[in-house]
Amino acid sequence: MLLEIEDLAVDYQKAKALQGVSLTIHEGEVVCIIGANGAGKTTILRTISGLKKPKSGTIRFQGKEIGGMPAHEIVKAGIAHIPAGRMIFAPMTVSDNLKMGAFLRRDRRKVAQDLDSLYSHFPVLKQRQAKLGWQLSGGEQQMLAIGRALMASPTLLLMDEPSVGLSPLMVAEVGSIIRSINQDGISILLVEQNSRMALKLAHRAYVLELGKIVLKGDAKELSNDDRVKQHYLGGSRTRAED
Helix H or strand E encompassing 33: strand 30-34
183 is a domain residue: yes
pLDDT at 242: 24
Q: Are strands 56-61 and 64-65 parallel, antiparallel or unpaired?
A: antiparallel
pLDDT at 188: 97
110 is a domain residue: no
Q: What is the pLDDT of residues 89-131, one digit of tens each?
A: 899 999 999 999 988 888 888 899 989 989 988 899 999 999 9
56 is a domain residue: yes
Neighbouring residues of 47: CB distance < 8 A, sequence distance ≥ 6: 8, 10, 18, 53, 54, 59, 67
| Structural domains of the chain, count | 1
Domain range for 40: 3-89+154-232
158 is a domain residue: yes
Q: What is the pLDDT of residues 123-182, one digit of tens each?
A: 999 999 999 999 998 889 988 999 999 999 999 999 999 888 888 888 898 899 999 999
pLDDT at 240: 28
135 is a domain residue: no
- CA 46 to chain centroid, in Å, comes to 10
pLDDT band at 31 (very low <50, low <70, confident <90, very high): very high
CATH number at residue 43: 3.40.50.300
User: pTM for the complete prediction?
Assistant: 0.89
